[in-house]
Amino acid sequence: MNPTIYEEACRKFREAFDHEHTAAAYSPGRVEILGNHTDYNEGFVLSIAIDRGTCFLVSPADDGVCRCVAGDVMETATFGAATPQRVAEPTWLNYIIGTFAKLQESHSSIADCAFNGLLLGNIPLGAGLSSSAALEMSCGLALCASYGLSVDKLDLAQLGQTAEHDYAGVRCGLLDQISSLYGKRNHLIMTDFRTLAVETIPLPEDICFLVCNTRARHALVDGEYNRRREQCEEAAAFFAGRLKHPVSALRDVTTTEWEQHHADMDPETARRALHPIGENERVCIGRDLLAKGDVESFGRLMFESHASSRANFENSCRELDFLVDTAGNIPEILGARLSGGGFGGSAVMLIHPNDIEAVSSAITAAYADEFGHACEVCSVAASDGGHII
């Protein structure tokens, strides 16, 4: 955690509420390295918790009103502690309302416990780095500390997921919340989303990641994310009726089986299904490649992943495609792909640390020439997960 963010949050909390906070927590954003849209298909993902995140500070309130402040712009919004309901505006408040409401459902002791809260972070919004999950998890951790609640990591991650479903309108998987809580410095997070087993895998010392924010619109609540999930579920039901072994999700289907049966499917649904099927296989291959130190082959899997996003899942965009195509022509970039839900946001690139400056300059210049404005490029490091401060 960047201590400056916390210090600034403390100052802004005093400014907003005229007293000190009583509990605080921090949770990082995440970058998905390999395994796109596999979490809700009960598959595998490789991700990292990044060294950018969100602080959430709280203190008790005794008038039944929860007052929340977005510390970057000092915008205040309120809701009733006894009857937390989804709001139309501001949308950021719904992540807090949802987290609080889900905690109330499982802990009746806080049914009427209002609070003052302030959030402040340094995750670029709309960049596909999961600022929403960082907010949910930092809010959840801080509220648990304030109310003396004991909630384990997995339960808190699932609570954040249901809050996002019910209050933000995004049927997300568990990837973002798990990555935010289970991160480990200098390690990848490998998550099996069927068993919810999490392991950490050491990263080679001579690689790092660049995140290139396209600044293209990234709004999953518009329905594209939800539609892709529906198509994956439709495809799983199709294969369950065709294959001799049990199929409860696309995790259970191989590329070979897809090739044997996809001609009988709706063509678009078939293409949608091929993406997570292939991604699951790429993650497992990638884990073994990293264990052998074969970073170059791992990078090629990242390029293959993006090609599937572009052609099969159609969750890329012109800006992301340009970044990945440009990366493919820069020898110092070992791998590149979109990261996160897609439809905008960021691309992640695998490079050696000594090449950060040269690669950043080349990518920024090429993007500006194409689109008339620069993309935001920053290096990110694998960091520890969410915690109480």
Active site amino acids: 176
Q: Which of 26, 31, 28, 48 is nearest to 139 (CA)?
A: 26
Three-class HEC string of the chain: CCHHHHHHHHHHHHHHHCCCCCEEEEEEEEEEEECCCCHHHCCEEEEEEEEEEEEEEEEEECCCEEEEEECCCCEEEEEECCCCCCCCCCCHHHHHHHHHHHHHHHCHHHCCCEEEEEEEECCCCCCCCCHHHHHHHHHHHHHHHHHCCCCCHHHHHHHHHHHHHHHHCCCCCCHHHHHHHHCCCCEEEEEECCCCEEEEEECCCCCEEEEEECCCCCCHHHCHHHHHHHHHHHHHHHHHCCCCCCCCCHHHCCHHHHHHHHHHCCHHHHHHHHHHHHHHHHHHHHHHHHHCCCHHHHHHHHHHHHHHHHHHHCCCCHHHHHHHHHHHCCCCCCEEEEECCCCCCEEEEEECHHHHHHHHHHHHHHHHHHHCCCCEEEEECECCCCEEC
- Bridge-based pairing of strands 114-121 and 197-202 is unpaired
